[in-house]
Chains A and B, each alone.
Chain A
């Protein structure tokens, strides 16, 4: 069964500092990988996705993520965070490459706190 692990429940970063959120997945085939962001009381907004090709993907709001097959990781990065980046971040894996319709499997999320 597929699974996603986000090892950090909370991360605190100073405004202007760089950010890296970790994501490890377990999946039997080539995964489709996603990062979503959720502000309090809101739905999920797609930051970026990886389906195939270049392993470094660019997303919205200055975020990027790198797919590393050897480490089963898809870490999210941003060179300089802004106070508005404070939110919950979810990594997810999908089975789309293998067909079927099992939906996305999400990690438990990382809560990002921005210090002034």
Chain B
């Protein structure tokens, strides 16, 4: 079975711009979570979605938003990009929430200049 897929792999944006990152979960998984990993740090939890509803949110500003679609894929949007938003954005899917084991995708490397 295919694992979690994310697109794009890399992208470069300018401060103030907006970005949309995409994630497709493992087939059969209904929960998607997003994490931000700044260089040299562990991942930090941003959002969890289950059955198209937000079930959890980490300590991130309102510039960060997400949604989950009927096919359980998900998008993460970040508005008004700051230099500090440069990071690896990881998507994880699990069978259910909140008790499912997260399986991570390869991530999207975002660079803000």
Which of A's residues lie within 8 Å of B, judged by CB?
4, 34, 36, 41-46, 49, 90, 92, 94-96, 99-109
Contact = CB atoms under 8 A, between A and B. Distances in A.
Interface size class of B (residues with CB under 8 A): 20 to 34
B102 to A, nearest CB: 6
Nearest to B44: A106
A101 B97 contact: yes
Nearest to B94: A96
Given A43-B90, A90-B42, A96-B99, A102 B104 contact: no
Interface in B52-69: 55-56, 58
Given A42-B106, A44-B90, A106 B42 contact: yes
A96 B94 CA distance: 12
Contact of B98 (A34, A92, A101, A106): A101
A44 to B, nearest CB: 4
Contacts of B104: 36, 43-46
